[in-house]
Every structure is written in C-alpha cells, then in structure tokens.
Amino acid sequence: MLLGLLIPVLVSQAVDVISIDKVRAKDVLDSEDLRTIDQFVGQSIQEIVKSTDFTSVSKIRAGIVSRANATSEISASQYAQQFIDSVYKHLAAGLKEAENITPEELKFRVKLNLLILADELGNVRLVDLALEQLDSENAAICYWAVRCVTNPQILKQLKEVNTPNYSKLAAQIIERLRGIVDTASPEVITAMAEFADKMETPQADALLLQIADMRIRKYADWKVTDEYADLAVLGALSDKMSMERGAGEFGRKFAQLYSYAMQRYIAGIKGGSFFSPAEKKQLAMVLVMTEQSYISKFTGIQQTTIKRAVEADDYVALWAEHNRLLGDESKTGVIPEKLKFDYGNKRTYPLMLPEPPKSQ
C-alpha cells in the first residue's frame, strides 16, 4: 500500500521542470532544447500512465498544459511545434500502453486522464487520437473523446485554417460522429449538436438533422430519456433557421421535436405515468427555456404563456399554445407561417405522438 502511494511522488521528481522552464524563455532553440521539451512531455505523460493514486494527476496535467507555450515570443512557433509533436507521440504511446493495463478500472482511469489532457490542450493535431476512442463501450471514454474532437478550440482551428487537410479532417470528424448518434449519451448529444451548430458546412447540417431525427424517433417510440439534451438540439436547429431564406428542413425538425416534447408533457400531466418527477422537471425546463430563448425570437414577442401553463399543470392552455405556435389541422401555426415551412407534403401541422405502449 505504501509503495502505491509513493509511486506518483517518485515519478514526479523525475520530471525536470527547471530545464523546461529555461527552454521556454530562450529566444533560439537548439537540438538539445528540443530534446528537453520531448523529455519533459514524455516523462509527464508517463506519470499519468504509471500512476496508481490519481489524486495528483490533475496537477500533472496542469503542469503539461501550462508549459505548452514558450514565454519568449521569438521562439514561440518553434517551441509550440516541438511541444505538440512530442505530446502527440507520447500520448499515442500512452494510450497504446494503457490497453494492456490491469485491472480494468486502472486502465479506465489512465485512458480517461489522457483524453482529458488532450481536451485541455485543444490542439487539432491530437484529433485523430481521440477519434480512435469514439467507439469505446465505456460511456465516459466516449464522452471525453467527443469532447476532444468538438472542443471550441478545435472548432476555431478548423474554421480559421482553410486548407484541404483541415477541411478533410472536419469532414472526418463529422462522419465519425454520425456513426455514434444512435447510441450517444445525453452529454454526447449536447456536444455534437453544439459542434454541428457552429461548424457551418453541409456535412455539419446533415449531422444536426440526423441528431434531431434520432430524438424525434425516440419520442415517437416512447423511449426518449434525458429530455434536457433536447434543449441543445432545439437551440442548434433554431440557429440554422432563417427568416430570409426560409427555415426549411431545420424548421420542420425544430417544430416536430418541440411538438413531441409538449405532447409528451401533456400526456404526463393528464394522468399517464410516462415519466418520473425528475424527467418531468427536465421536460418542463426544455419547454420553458425554449419558449424564452427561441420561440420569442421567432414571434418577436417575449412571451410566458408556456411557462405559466407548465407551472399550473394546465394541459388545456399548453395544448392551445402548441396549436397556435406550431399549427393544427385547421390552421398554420405562427412559426411555420413566419418562417415559411411546412411539415412535408404541404401538411400544416406536426405529427401527433402515437399511442404509448400498453406497458406504459
């Protein structure tokens, strides 16, 4: 037991922070300086891989991240290039080494911390290492892999550096994300929707529509869970809707998803045991926050009709507002009319939820 507690301390003493800090301040770097950078990165990542006490690992990660850039502006580019090259090399080796670690819980902790490190560094060079972990059966590993590739810093680099390689990488990220939509956790759904919202490409639009379709399908099958994730999806869809060019497919998905959320809530407060108190609270939050943040944007009026109906559990008022905003068999809703979209085949109202399974 004592040996296990001492391991992180002994390894930590092997990392030469004095030398790396001297290199960071130099204006001109020679081959020995580049080796110093590589040694610092390699030793630090090995601390994470070899640790059995993870209480200090966040400090190890912080030590790496804080030294990712030079303090000298003159050598900044040269330093940063060597640093990220070294991180890539040693992180790849660390992830490979982690595959052979036992027990499983220790392997999980090591891989998790390596992915968190990649996310904290936020460099596009590390994206393909995270992509390799997207298919992990462990939800936490998958989540951090998605966070790495959808990191706001990664998004910024992909959008600012307009080169064929970066365009290809962006397309690769989206293609891989599309492959995990159906099994994604709520946290992953949120990260993917926000990434698709900000990445303004046809491929990103297709990813967002796929996510919306998946959530709509889960409502229709009465298998939806973690309804709060729909707030991010609805927000991303609303950002894509434009009064100038017409909301089109984004409007249809937004209105149908929001309609299903409202219908599910109405079914629950009318007496069906379709959700737990916690799920009811999540769904109520989606309805109210969507009204506050997005519905008012489309109608031009800051309204609280849905909020009041939810607070009162007034399904009659909620259904009336649903029809007014989204449409019914007798009239086009305010939002479809303003944004010039229908629900397909010129239908003026959203689909109604199927009858719930008898087991519910």
Question: How distant, in Å, are the alpha carbons of 17, 25, 47, 327 from that of 14?
Answer: 9, 21, 9, 68
Cβ neighbors of 188 (< 8 A, separation 6 or more) are: 142, 143, 146, 180
pLDDT digits (tens, 9 = 90+) for 26-52: 999 999 999 999 999 999 999 999 998
User: What percent of the chain has pLDDT above 90?
Assistant: 80
Query: Residue 72: is its pLDDT beyond 50?
Result: yes
Average pLDDT, the chain: 91
Cβ neighbors of 20 (< 8 A, separation 6 or more) are: 36, 37, 40, 67
- Residue 246 pLDDT: 60
Query: Residue 269: is its pLDDT beyond 70?
Result: yes
Question: How distant, in Å, are the alpha carbons of 243, 312, 352 from that of 327?
Answer: 18, 23, 12
Query: Residue 12: is its pLDDT beyond 70?
Result: no
Beta bridge partners of 328: 331
